[in-house]
Structure 1
Amino acid sequence: MTTATLSTPLQPASARPDPLGRRYGRMWGRVPRELGYLALTAIIGLVVSITAWGVIGAGSAFVVLGVALLIALMLASRYLGVFDLRRLRWAGTRPIAAPTWDRPFAGKRFLRAVGDVIADPHYWLYALHAAVVTPVLALITFVVWSTWLGTALVAITSPAWATITLANGDSLWNGDRGGENVVGLVLFLTGAGSDAAATGWGIAGVTALGLLMLALLPFITRGATLAHWGAARLLLSRFASEDLRGEVARVDAARLAAVTAEDTALRRLERDIHDGPQQRLLRLQMELSTAERRLDGTRPEATESIAAARRLAAETLDELRALAQGFAPPLLQDRGLSAALGALGHRGAVPVETAIDLPADVPDAVERSLYFVAAELTANAIKHSGATKVRLEARTEDAGASRALVLSVQDDGRGGARIVPGHGLAGAVDRLTGLGGTLTVTSPEGGPTTAAVRVPLP
């Protein structure tokens, strides 16, 4: 006989649901803060509504004064909204991500600052929340929670009030006449005030009702607070597009940091090659030449070996120099990207016409990568297209607040160029991807071919 035993893994303490009593106790723990938030919100809503309607009245009478008061109201609404978000968090609700604000008049002319305030949709939403939504919602929630709490307290204390006698000798809970408050009204409507026993049971029932209402008070205050939280979430929170822009900015910063780190590492390696093995190989060549002269043909075998070693050292030195120039040509480091791109037109067997108009503030990492991309595109056009003429253009373009460096290589060759993985154009694409740039190749059969590069500049 086979026995199968099924075991259920124990849930971690953090995954187990809290007992109902503990959750209810936490709700009661939030009631004082929620009541404080709701009461202060009712006061703020009353004051703001009176002020807002006063501003509207003044603005309708005096246009210039009205515009000034409107700007003041929008600025005040911003700080009032920020204060409301902090109070909501203090009341125990989930935090709401506020917009990223700047100081409205810091480093700006007055009219520019006013225009920025008017053009910012967050100011209008905050003004709507402060002048319209908060007063209306505060009035509704105040009526609900204050009536609920007041009724519960009056009902709970009904046994104490039953002993109070009016000046004319009647009881305050005179059920025959409807009494003087809600408990007496209940006794009157139920007919419980006609005899003492029924009145006692009626008062006990009203007390139980008050206790039930008081037990449900955390749900009332929580619901009212969440109503304000929902309005704030709708009107006072940051736009999703702002989060997206922030994420894009962080990615761009990380990408630029990676490219800059690579550029710094290559520069350090180039300097180390120049100052280390390149200098030692140069010294080795000199020492071998000196040894060759000292032998002066007395030992032909040794002289031949030294000559071979000297040639090998010279070849190694040339390879190191070529390797160092592969990191960045000296012209690029000394005179910048414009001069280095201009020199590309004098290196190939095919004439290269250049039209370069670049600023001097191009970042070093961008200069290095763009130089090698331009060199790759130019070399491809000369070697593989069968072109008789190549044109290299480089300039910057401004599009509003953004700026980009645009580079193009055109040839009159046979066309048919494609971006194939593992080949030169694919390597150019990889370099441009690190800069956030793009490479577009237009090369119909029969030509001409145009390779266009676009790289955003900081």
Structure 2
Amino acid sequence: MTILAALVDGPSDLGPRQAPPLPGATTTPRRSRRPLCRRTLSSWLTSWWAVALRGLDLLTSVAGLVLVALAVAGFFSLTAAGTGIMLLTPALWGAWALGQAERHVLAAFTGTDIGPSPVSPAPTWRRALGLDMVRLRALGWAALHWVWALVASAVVLALLTTSLTLLATPLLRPFAGSETVEVLWFASVSSPVEYAVTWLVGLVTFLVLPWLARGTANVDIALARWLVGADPQSELRAMRGRVQTLTTTREEAVDSVEAERRRIERDLHDGPQQRLVSIAMNLGLARTLLDSDADSARALLDEAHASSKEAIVEMRQVARGIVPPILADRGLDAAVSALAVRSPVPVEVTSRLRERLDPTVEAIAYFCISEALTNVAKHAGASTARVDLGLSPTLEGERLAITVSDDGRGGAVVGGGSGLTGLRQRIAAVDGELHVHSPRGGGTTVAIALPLRGRRTA
């Protein structure tokens, strides 16, 4: 390989040397041809793996033909007391296994990864019988693969054999019994010019063949990505839905933050601010009356002292709506238990959490539970409520599972004025899920799933 590259590039110290540019002169860089030659030679040598792939595809095409024939026989035998499923299921699973093998073959021979294997959302019994979309798509790939692989492999291998035969024709002349040599079934050569032309045709075919095989391998890659890899259309639809969800949740999060800011501002203005103004006025009057009317000044000081205590209580209530101290100090279990104690409806709390969660997740969970219990007290007409906390495993990892249920009148609808709209916005902003089951007269169950961002030990 090194010797061949050296022959292509030529000696590095031969040829005239270019004089250095003069100071201040502008030079235009010239593109060297040696990197291009190296890239071309490397691409040509690498493309021979595609020729080897065509030889292997002869075997996989035969396997695909057998599996398709087995699937067709099983499909038409389904009416015979269902015995065709004994042929159809192995064929579907065999096509899927062949597709997974093709994934590794393409990665080994072409260096191309066709993407992750799709996960079937079908029920377990359908996946076991192979009657899900993943296995059916694999069977479709096997049907197309055996036709394409058989044709492409036959063409590439035939051209390889022909090129080698044409290149070897001049070597066969001394062994021929006459001046004429049969090259192919339709041609023969006898003169030196014909030998030279034959050899040149064989050389050109031999040089072009790897890139032709590479082109056919690209078709294999496209078929595998289409039917064996992840469905690009479903991925595109999922990405489009994800963008729409993120746009909606961003707008709702901005609206929610603005509404929360206005609420805090209103609570501060209507509560502590008025108390502080009253305290300032009483202290000013007490200072004025301190020398002339000590009893009135003392009464004003007592009133200011009582107002300061009330202002502290109101400030604590406002702060509780931002970050409850008990949540930051003792965690979600203690904070939810405190919510249950303050609730006008008796609440039973069950927690299966063994360690502290991320503070952001705990805060979101706390406010979700607080909003849900507020809805129970205002709208449900329930006599008891229940809060359940735990971790739920999913395909994306563990999630915090929250269930708030009551025995009220039911009939709650998201967006129906029951306070669930703000809850849905808060949960959607962090990619959580909200499910509400509220039949009329049967109570309400609110199920919340929040993704876990991290853990911290207690």
TM-score by length of 1: 0.50
TM-score by length of 2: 0.50
Q: Which of 1 and 2 has greater Rg?
A: 1
